[in-house]
């Protein structure tokens, strides 16, 4: 069940009760109308909040890295590029850099990142981990990824 | 240095040349009733948007004229936004209210850029005849109410320079994340009114000093973006290379650069990727490097930059 559906269900379960005054039919009708408005407003807020919910949940797990807001990743023939859309800067990545960011986008946590890279890529020189550590530090320093 | 990207990193899309205002400093010659003769239809625009999403272009600027007067503006923005494209929207803020802000608030808007060219109605309406500063301020406040990232632009001229500091302070008080300014660009309407508008070198120096001072004052609160300060400085910084950007005109033609009078592709005839390849090749054409060099010598040549013509086929300006 999505985050959005979960919150909608909470609303429908009656956890959020608006007190009613039953003194007259017209007042009741106006209260119902007002509840409808409140519900619509809440649902709008839920929709907006839910758009970023998955990313927030992923980031709240310990050690999980993700691209910073405003950063987009695209694979290229030479490796990949990171676009920092707020400052409109473009960073080019080597194939190793691209491999690291691909894992970050896939939601890997920092503890298992190097294991994943070793599973997927041959590292005859043993330099991959060292390069990746340096690269991660640089990415964090430039604010391109957050943990 | 050219990155040899598979697709553009940024697309500036001028949706229309039509506008609800006729500003003195407009760089695109926009004005009411001045659309390009044959602007893209809704269907054609959506087809281009589909290609943009497919090519994973990360960031698109929707501009005009006034983009909000384009009937399919929101449909286009929604298509791009839901397709994962970050968006920047440039508007004069005259027709931007809660309904518009609410629609944009559901999209990945990275900047809503609104121009404030004066801190008082008297000065603002001299720069933008018939416009209301209060409407623009309402647009800014509404944007912030809906958590849209607000960017303010200020074009300095002889008319408004004495309100520059007040505009910067106003931008900060409105909650803008950035104020964007620099030397007035000698393009479009501004070029025609150059002598009336352009500041003296001394006044530019004072303005630059003010920006440096304000940059310190607002450090950490609002970015003040003014470097490179002029088109020439921008060209020198980029070393005249393919910039990773394409500029789509309202009729689907693709312009090599906003500073040169050349088009290099037509999205009615070619795909986005074909147009992108042509743009990259265009930068190998000697006309491009010599065009930029001429601008570096004298920005007067910019005055003719909107007289567009195809790069490869003709040197005769097309009447548009």
* Tens digit of pLDDT at every position of chain B (320 positions): 456 899 999 999 999 999 999 999 999 999 999 999 999 999 999 999 999 999 999 999 999 999 999 999 999 999 999 999 999 999 999 999 999 999 999 999 999 999 999 999 999 999 999 999 999 999 999 999 999 999 999 999 999 999 999 999 999 999 999 999 999 999 999 999 999 999 999 999 999 999 999 999 999 999 999 998 988 888 777 655 667 889 999 999 999 988 888 999 999 999 999 999 999 999 888 888 888 888 888 888 888 888 888 887 544 444 44
What is the nearest CA distance from B312 to chain A, expressed in angstroms? 28
Range of the domain at B173: 10-237
Total number of domains in chain B: 1
What is the nearest CA distance from B109 to chain A, expressed in angstroms? 9
Residues of chain A above pLDDT 70, percent: 59
What CATH number should be reported for the domain holding residue B35? 3.20.20.70
Q: Do you know the residue count of chain A?
A: 147
Whether residue B21 contacts residue B67, with contact meaning beta carbons closer than 8 Å, is answered with no
Q: How far apart, in Å, are the Cα atoms of A22 and each of A14, A19, A25, A34, A37?
A: 18, 10, 7, 14, 19
Q: Does A40 touch chain B (CB under 8 A)?
A: no
- B90 within a domain of the structure (yes/no): yes
CB-CB neighbours of A44 under 10 Å: 13
- B261 within a domain of the structure (yes/no): no
Q: Where are the domains of chain A?
A: 3-51, 60-146
pLDDT at B294: 87
Whether residue A72 contacts residue B86, with contact meaning beta carbons closer than 8 Å, is answered with yes
- B313 within a domain of the structure (yes/no): no
- B302 within a domain of the structure (yes/no): no
Q: Which residues of B touch A76 (CB under 8 A)?
A: 3-6
Write down the ipTM of this complex. Answer: 0.76
Kindly report the CATH number that applies to the domain delimited by A60-146: 3.90.930.60
- B176 within a domain of the structure (yes/no): yes
- B31 within a domain of the structure (yes/no): yes
Residue A39 has pLDDT above 80, yes or no: no
- B88 within a domain of the structure (yes/no): yes
Q: Across the interface, do B110 and A90 touch by the CB < 8 Å criterion?
A: no
Name the pLDDT band for A18 (thresholds 50, 70, 90).
very low
- B14 within a domain of the structure (yes/no): yes
H/E stretch holding B12: strand B10-14
Q: What confidence tens digit (pLDDT) does each residue in A70-122 have?
A: 899 999 999 999 998 888 888 889 888 898 899 999 888 877 888 888 888 87
pTM of the entire predicted model: 0.80
Q: Across the interface, do A74 and B110 touch by the CB < 8 Å criterion?
A: no
CB-CB neighbours of B289 under 10 Å: 13
- The residue in chain B having the minimum alpha-carbon distance to the alpha carbon of residue A70 is B110
What is the nearest CA distance from A54 to chain B, expressed in angstroms? 15
Closest CA to B299 of B157, B164, B184: B184
């Amino acid at each position: 069940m999505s985050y959005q559906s979960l919150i909608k269900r909470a609303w429908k379960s009656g956890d959020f009760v608006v007190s009613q005054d039953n003194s007259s039919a017209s007042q009741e009708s106006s209260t119902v109308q007002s509840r409808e408005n409140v519900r619509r407003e809440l649902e709008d807020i839920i929709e907006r909040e839910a758009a970023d919910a998955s990313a927030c949940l992923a980031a709240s797990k310990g050690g999980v890295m993700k691209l910073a807001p405003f950063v987009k990743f695209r694979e290229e023939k030479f490796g990949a590029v990171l676009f920092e859309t707020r400052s409109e800067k473009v960073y080019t990545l080597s194939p190793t850099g691209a491999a690291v960011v691909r894992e970050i986008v896939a939601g890997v946590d920092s503890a298992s990142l190097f294991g994943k890279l070793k599973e997927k890529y041959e590292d005859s020189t043993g330099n991959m981990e060292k390069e990746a550590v340096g690269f991660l530090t640089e990415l964090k320093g430039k604010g391109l990824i957050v943990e | 240095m050219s990155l040899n990207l598979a697709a553009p990193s940024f697309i500036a899309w001028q949706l229309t040349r039509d506008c609800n205002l006729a500003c003195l400093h407009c760089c695109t010659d926009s004005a009411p009733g001045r659309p390009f003769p044959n602007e893209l239809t809704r269907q054609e625009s959506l087809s281009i948007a589909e290609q943009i999403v497919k090519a994973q272009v990360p960031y698109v600027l929707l501009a005009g004229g006034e983009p909000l007067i384009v009937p399919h503006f929101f449909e286009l923005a929604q298509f791009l936004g839901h397709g994962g494209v970050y968006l920047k929207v440039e508007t004069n803020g005259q027709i931007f209210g809660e309904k518009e802000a609410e629609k944009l608030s559901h999209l990945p808007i990275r900047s809503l850029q609104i121009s404030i060219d004066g801190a008082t109605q008297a000065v603002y309406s001299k720069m933008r005849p018939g416009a209301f500063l209060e409407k623009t301020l309402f647009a800014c406040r509404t944007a912030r109410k809906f958590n849209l990232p607000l960017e303010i632009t200020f074009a300095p001229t002889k008319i408004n320079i004495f309100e520059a500091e007040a505009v910067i302070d106003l931008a900060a008080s409105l909650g803008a994340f950035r104020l964007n300014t620099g030397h007035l660009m000698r393009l479009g309407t501004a070029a025609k009114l150059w002598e009336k508008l352009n500041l003296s070198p001394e006044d530019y120096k004072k303005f630059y000093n003010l920006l440096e001072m304000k940059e310190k004052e607002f450090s950490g609160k609002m970015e003040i973006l003014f470097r490179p300060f002029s088109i020439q400085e921008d060209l020198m910084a980029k070393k005249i290379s393919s910039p990773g950007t394409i500029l789509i005109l309202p009729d689907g033609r693709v312009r090599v650069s906003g500073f040169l009078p050349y088009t290099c592709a037509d999205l009615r005839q070619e795909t986005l990727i074909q147009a992108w390849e042509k743009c990259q090749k265009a930068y190998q054409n000697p006309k491009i490097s010599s065009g930029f060099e001429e601008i570096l010598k004298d920005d007067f040549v910019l005055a003719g930059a909107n007289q567009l013509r195809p790069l490869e086929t003709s040197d005769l300006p097309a009447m548009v």
